[in-house]
Structure 1
Amino acid sequence: MSELIGKAGHKTLAVWAIDCAERVLPYFEQEYPEDHRPRKALEALRDWLSTGVFRMSVIRRASLDSHAAARDTGGDNPARSAARAAGQAAATAHVPRHAYGSAIYAQQAIYRATGTSDADTEAAKERDWQQSRLMKLISRK
């Protein structure tokens, strides 16, 4: 996956980070329906993608707010990992390699949400989807 990430452009990685985070965001939103910080982090990244206008203060705040939402969940759980995936995705506007963090946290969310006997298998399926999705996004260029 690291080699693929190295081949992808900045905006391609941002789209991929959103895709990864959105797949697990329901873990957070179902538990905390009134907390929109992770969703707003993804919206901030989308705004950057659509306008090309980068404001460090906006991206940083969106990312940090999503990570604060993760901390507010308490222990290690799928909601926490999902909020972290969104926070890492937002940070991709600043540093492209943060997209990898979004992917890893998405895998972790699925691992934590799955029964112990199937957790490794389900996380591997997610990793395979992520790789396939990134390859598809790269090939569109």
Structure 2
Amino acid sequence: MLVVFLVLVFILSKYAWGPIINGLKERENEIQGALDMAKKTKEEMARLKSDNEKLIIEANAARDRIIKEAKEAADRLVESAKEKATAEGNRIIESAREAIRSEQAAAVAQIKKEVATLSIDIAEKVLRRELNDKSAQEQLVADLVKDSVKLN
């Protein structure tokens, strides 16, 4: 029985245990390879996640920068529009003031002309009334000549 056991152990070790142990080693290597692959995949996923987070941070920063630039541009446009509106308003006001001054000067000139015409008419009527008699005319001429001599 011992001999049979030893022969069986010898045959099994020569033909069975080698392929079984080799099969177990191959299986162990495959499992180790799968574990290594899983570890690499996990590391790759962590790296991709980190890259994605960086991209998200960069995208948010770019979005914030674009929004800030757009707001600044809008503020500049509003300020420019205000300045143009103020300048246009000042120009219109100055134009209106100039028109008022011009109309005022024209009205004053017209009034002066009318006053001068009215004064001449009044003077003419007064002179006609006073110069109706000959002695008053001679007295007026004498006074005018006397005044003119004093001026020279």
Q: TM-score range by the shorter chain?
A: under 0.3
TM-score normalised by L of structure 1 = 0.20
Of structures 1 and 2, the one with the larger relative CO (CA 8 A, separation 6+) is 1
Specify which structure has the higher proportion of helix: 2
